Structure 1
Amino acid sequence: MGDEVKVFGFWGSPFSRRVELALLLKGVPYEYVEEDIFVVENKSPLLLQYNPVHKKVPVLLHNGKPIAESLVILEYIEETWKANPILPEDPYDKAMARFWAKFLDDKCLPAIRKAAFSPENEREEAAEEARACLKTLESALNGKRVMQEVTGEELLSVEKLPELFKWTEEFVSCSVVKQSLPPKDKVLGVVKARVAQTNAPK
């Protein structure tokens, strides 16, 4: 009997999507459990049981043992299933990969969220902050995106961030990545609704 692997996630969460992507890259079969993360009352008893501290996705359940927090889960996946390594072999390169993953989570994603969902009169300043984060991220790497489509703010372009733009294009062109991306029209609907809510008269 093989490993029992489940992922508790949300279709639009980049954090649960990265866990699924890691499992796909490793060739690990898993069962996916969709969670409603917007309504506390709708979160399943299992999610609350397996992640009682944060009560959020993603959670990886491996043979009955729960692991929470996407970066922690990614390390667990890497150490548990050795085939198709995700991280570099060299300890320094591995540490740098972890550093930039944390930078992305702690700095870039909050800045991008702020740029996407700020009121219209604050959006340009928030977009500049997000671009600065992405420029820093791009330095580690020596189209059109959903946010740009909704708000008109272009954070990632070939002119402004050529290396990051190229890396992103290559990343999303990978067949395994394409398979794990959420449907664009669904993401567009959620982002449009959030932007409209932010700009609605108070």
Structure 2
Amino acid sequence: MGAVEAIRLLEDAGLLTPEEAAGPGDLTERDVWDQLARDEWEQVLGVLEECRGGPPLPPAFWASLAEAVGQLRMERGTAWCHWRHTEARRGGIRAVLTLFPPEEADGGRRLPVPGAGVLRPMWDIGSRAPDGGPAWNIASLWAEHTAAIPPGGRATVRLAPLTPGQWRHLTPGDVITMHERRPPAGTATVLEVLPPVLP
């Protein structure tokens, strides 16, 4: 039932074209099912969204899709849909994160950064504490199209701020600093500031 519901949701959102109505350039279930069956929802949905164009999909779509994918017992796909649901409700940040190598900086990680939204590092985004020093902000991190970022590695990431309103001043090109403790662990260059999606 989950597979049928997931495909129906994708078709209803204009991400897939029903087989019987498909033209030569349309993406159909047949085109993407192999990847979906391997739990590559993040990659497939990214391509489908690009092809679709138009406004971002609303939170209700992502919540329904998370439920359908969850019925298929696809953990990463379900987590991705939940992530996008939260992002659609609260907004987020896309950025390119570069981790410092462990040998070059005291803050460099010796272990990979898990990519599926489990890490919630602190970020220096320019906020100031009452004493004038930096005030760090917390945001969960999802690495796009990879299970983990190796030490010293680089990846496009999505950030889900704990307090989104404090991040709204950021613009593409801004550089923010990731901390897991006092020394910095890496820097990220903002690509997009994603506003909440109206239902």
Q: Determine if the TM-score, normalized by the shorter chain, exceeds 0.5.
A: no
- TM-score under structure 1 length normalisation: 0.24
Q: Higher strand fraction: Structure 1 or Structure 2?
A: 2
Q: Higher helix fraction: Structure 1 or Structure 2?
A: 1
- TM-score under structure 2 length normalisation: 0.24
Q: Which has the higher contact order (CA 8 A, sep 6+)?
A: 2
